[in-house]
Amino acid sequence: MIRWLFDHSLRQKIPLWGAVLIICPTVFLSGLMMYHTYGDSKNSIVAGATALGRVLSKTLAPSLIHDDLWRAFEMVRAPMTTSGQPDGATPDTITVISPRREVVVSSDPQRLPTLSPISRLDRELWPISKPDFKISETRPAVIEEAGSQFIYMTFPIADRGLYLGALVIRYPRSHLYAKFWEVAIDSALLGLAVLVILLPVNWYWGQRMAVPLVKLASLMKGISGRPPEKFATESYGYKDELGQMFAAYNNMVDVLEEKAALERQVLSSNRLAAIGRLTAGIAHEINNPLSGMLTSIDTQEKLGTLDERSARAFGLIKRGLQQIRDTMGALLVEARPKKRWLEPRDLEDVRTLLQHEVATGRIDLQIVTDIPDRVPIPAGAVRQIMMNLLHNAVRAAGMAEAGEVRAFIAGIGADLVIRVTNNGETLNEDRLGDLFEPFVTNHEGGNGLGLWVTYQLVSQLGGTIDVNSDETQVEFIVRLPVAEDEKTS
């Protein structure tokens, strides 16, 4: 049962425990206050009765010696008309008992007539009437019977060592009960006021502490099943132990994210290494016939037997084969193909090679160029980057009702900037995360190598490639540093 209580959420336990810790001391202190009030009231009555009894026992002695009952009656009757107690408690009855256990005089002569034996009194109201009860002849005594509604005090009356009788003063407990209930009501109101103030404060601080802890527990529980999520530190902006724990959790999340990123990087590196070995073998096999074709074209151009149309076609084929050679060189880490700097005709070649695909898909393609006649940057790599980006853009725009592709290439500062946009399907966060991974494609018939090769070429040229995607378009931005001009080797 106790364990079941402790298994509840802190969001419930902290306010409940706080409420218990507030209510229990409040009830205990209220009860203690009432207990002490009852004792103080009783002690006050006893003290007042003691003072009254000592005075009466001395003043009654001469009247008893001279048998002046009327004078004695006036003496025991006088305290009944005025309160002799600080808190207003008044005796119920004052009686003088003789050594023969007879009533000598009483403040209530009708119920306690003179010379009547006390054995005839109601024993429940007068415990001194019991045969075995002995009244002290030497010192005052307090008599409290269990369940009795009265408190009795007896005082011996003596003169020069001669015992003359006993003075019995009876007080009703109603005075104590009235005082007790007065204090009880005051204590209850005070306790209620304390609870009204402290319970909401306890609930607020309990929730203030428990809700962040419950949130942290939920986040930690889900670490194994999903990417870790950081704790919102603004929900608990303090630097105590809880705040330090939340900060430590966020640091742990950072470490886990770095570890996950490193694992992805290692996996990607291993995969890329395997792909690199595969592509290196393929590149070697392609380079052999490629060299033969380029040699044949060079021989044909040197013979000078080509007409203008054929020479133009052969030039286009030659630049395309050189692009293939440069691409193969990019796939071979140890290869260092000869560099040919970028010229405007390379961009015209890209437009020409895309004409059929653009016409088939009814795409509105616009390419704007602003480059000089010769840009010191490898032409083959730039052609391949442009081809891959425009090819993907045309395919994406083909899914729109009115497909549009815009390309802009220009020298800005020390960089060559290529910007390609399309109004096709947008990219979500998941697709952006693995966009440049090999063999990852969302198009039927695609092999997922185009953007990967583009990324590799951009990286080898020391550039950057960024992707922006919103509800209207997808934009690729490539920045390539332009080398210092030099002669073509």
Per-residue model confidence as pLDDT tens digits over 450-471: 788 888 888 888 899 999 888 8
Higher pLDDT, 279 or 196: 196
**Residue 84 maps to which CATH number?**
3.30.450.20
Per-residue pLDDT at 8? 61
For the ranges 4-8, 50-54, 320-324, 414-418, the lowest mean pLDDT is seen at: 4-8
Indicate if 400 and 470 belong to the same structural domain: yes
- Structure-block tokens of residue 286: 């392609």
Indicate if 36 and 163 belong to the same structural domain: yes
Indicate if 145 and 36 belong to the same structural domain: yes
Neighbour count for residue 183 (Cβ, 10 Å): 19
User: Per residue in 271-314, pLDDT tens?
Assistant: 766 766 777 777 777 877 877 888 888 887 777 777 888 888 88
Average pLDDT in the 330-354 region?
71
Per-residue pLDDT at 488? 39
Per-residue pLDDT at 476? 92
Q: Is residue 1 part of a domain?
A: no
Indicate if 415 and 454 belong to the same structural domain: yes
Higher pLDDT, 234 or 219: 219
Report CA dihedral (187, 192, 193, 196) to the nearest 10 degrees: 160
What is the number of structural domains in the chain?
A: 3
Neighbour count for residue 365 (Cβ, 10 Å): 21
Q: Is residue 421 part of a domain?
A: yes
Classify 443 as helix, strand or coil.
coil
Q: Which of 88, 83, 117 shows the shortest CA–CA distance to 102?
A: 117
Per-residue pLDDT at 334? 40
Indicate if 326 and 257 belong to the same structural domain: yes
Indicate if 251 and 396 belong to the same structural domain: no
Q: Is residue 412 part of a domain?
A: yes
pLDDT at 365 over 50: yes
**Of 336, 353, 379, which residue is a domain's last?**
336
pTM of the model: 0.41
pLDDT band, residue 395 (cuts 50/70/90): confident
For the ranges 26-30, 65-69, 235-239, 428-432, the lowest mean pLDDT is seen at: 235-239
Higher pLDDT, 82 or 320: 320
Indicate if 345 and 301 belong to the same structural domain: no
Helix axes 308-331, 450-460, angle to 10 degrees: 80
Indicate if 79 and 139 belong to the same structural domain: yes
Cα gap 382→330, rounded to integer Å:
12
Q: Which of 436, 390, 446 shows the shortest CA–CA distance to 271?
A: 436
Indicate if 353 and 456 belong to the same structural domain: yes
Name the most confidently modeled range: 212-226, 304-318, 328-342: 304-318
**Of 313, 336, 359, which residue is a domain's last?**
336
User: Per residue in 278-289, pLDDT tens?
Assistant: 777 777 778 778
Indicate if 90 and 160 belong to the same structural domain: yes
Name the most confidently modeled range: 299-313, 348-362, 424-438: 348-362
Q: Is residue 108 part of a domain?
A: yes
Per the CB < 8 A criterion, the answer to whether 67 and 165 are in contact is: no
For the ranges 168-172, 332-336, 407-411, the lowest mean pLDDT is seen at: 332-336
Indicate if 363 and 452 belong to the same structural domain: yes
Higher pLDDT, 40 or 209: 40
Higher pLDDT, 284 or 335: 284
Query: Domain range spanning residue 435?
Result: 338-489
Q: Is residue 218 part of a domain?
A: no
Q: Is residue 176 part of a domain?
A: yes
pLDDT at 479 over 90: yes
Per-residue pLDDT at 385? 92
Q: Within the chain, what is the greatest distance between any pair of CA atoms?
A: 173
pLDDT at 364 over 70: yes
Report the percentage of the chain scoring pLDDT > 90: 6
User: Per residue in 243-266, pLDDT tens?
Assistant: 788 788 788 888 888 887 788 777
Average pLDDT in the 321-326 region?
77
For the ranges 80-94, 142-156, 365-379, 463-477, the lowest mean pLDDT is seen at: 80-94
Per the CB < 8 A criterion, the answer to whether 385 and 465 are in contact is: no
**Residue 416 maps to which CATH number?**
3.30.565.10
Per-residue pLDDT at 329? 62
The Cα-based distances of 225 to 258, 430, 434 in angstroms read 17, 17, 20
pLDDT at 175 over 70: yes
Higher pLDDT, 13 or 357: 357
Per-residue pLDDT at 477? 94
Higher pLDDT, 212 or 107: 107
pLDDT at 486 over 90: no
- Residue 13, Cα to own-chain centre: how many angstroms? 15
Q: Is residue 217 part of a domain?
A: no
Average pLDDT in the 8-35 region?
76
Average pLDDT in the 44-72 region?
86
Mean pLDDT of the chain: 79
Indicate if 301 and 270 belong to the same structural domain: yes
pLDDT band, residue 478 (cuts 50/70/90): very high
**Of 302, 317, 336, which residue is a domain's last?**
336
Q: Is residue 206 part of a domain?
A: no
Classify 102 as helix, strand or coil.
strand
Per-residue pLDDT at 313? 83
For the ranges 381-385, 426-430, 443-447, 482-486, the lowest mean pLDDT is seen at: 443-447
